[in-house]
Chain A
Amino acid sequence: MTFAWKAAGLTYNRYLAVAARVVRRSLKEDKRLAAERRGQQDLKFAKWSNGKQGDVKNLADANAEAAVESAAAGGAQ
């Protein structure tokens, strides 16, 4: 069983995040405002090598790049 999102390089984790985001946006106004706060993510990371810190990257951007690379490599991961 191959899913279309998998062929586009998305991970199951990303699939769940997208599905959860759209469910939160479909709620009635009062519940939606409380729920949407849960979807916010702002995480940065840097790779260290030879005792030096590399570029600080945003995790969401890095994941999106990884998806593009994975799709180019045939979607298998």
Chain B
Amino acid sequence: MNSLRIARAALRARPATLCATVQRRGYAEAVSDKIKLSLSLPHQSIYRSHDAVQVNIPAESGEMGVLANHVPSIEQLKPGVVEIMEENGSTKRFFLSGGFAVVQPKSALSINAVEGFPLEDFSIDAVRAQIAEAQKVANGNGSEQDIAEAKIELEVLESLQAALK
């Protein structure tokens, strides 16, 4: 009597599992052409699993565009502009101060940076003034560390100036 009940339960369970696999396959096909972008700063998350068509990132190994189903990888970012191409054809541009981009399986992309702002938040006059100042320090006779820091600043500022033009 007991074994009969188990057999009946197994019979009933089988059609349910068949249905589930068919549904799952359909869902995966529907989302495969978008990237789920997460853009996080220590104090704010700008995007959380945001759908995008393509994301261009300034990796230390060169500029790269990330589409859906990209090979998983970890890229160190240079200070530079991240371009996010939206589904509706518009493009959003953020300047990041440097960090890491992690391309994860299933079209997920996580970008972490210390500071990131839309390009319109920057003042070109402030950038120019700081370039002059940093050049003075970089060519002066301060300590090795001061000169190295001024050169980091110059790298960021020159990238920022090019992005604002």
Contacts and interface: CB of A to CB of B under 8 A. Distances in A.
Interface of B: 43, 60, 79, 95, 97-99, 114-115, 117, 121-123, 126-127, 130, 134, 143-145, 147-149, 151-153, 155-157, 160
A64 B146 CA distance: 10
Contacts of A15: 98, 152
Interface in A25-77: 25-29, 31-32, 35, 38, 64, 67-68, 71
Contacts of A10: 145, 148-149, 152
A22 B148 contact: no
Interface of A: 1, 4-5, 7-10, 15-20, 22-29, 31-32, 35, 38, 64, 67-68, 71
A22 to B, nearest CB: 5
Interface of chain B, helix or strand or loop or mixed?
helix
A23 B160 contact: yes
List 7 tightest A-B contacts by C-beta distance, closest first: A8-B148, A20-B114, A23-B97, A20-B115, A19-B97, A20-B97, A22-B153
A29 B53 CA distance: 34
A76 to B, nearest CB: 15
A12 B144 CA distance: 16
A27 B151 contact: no
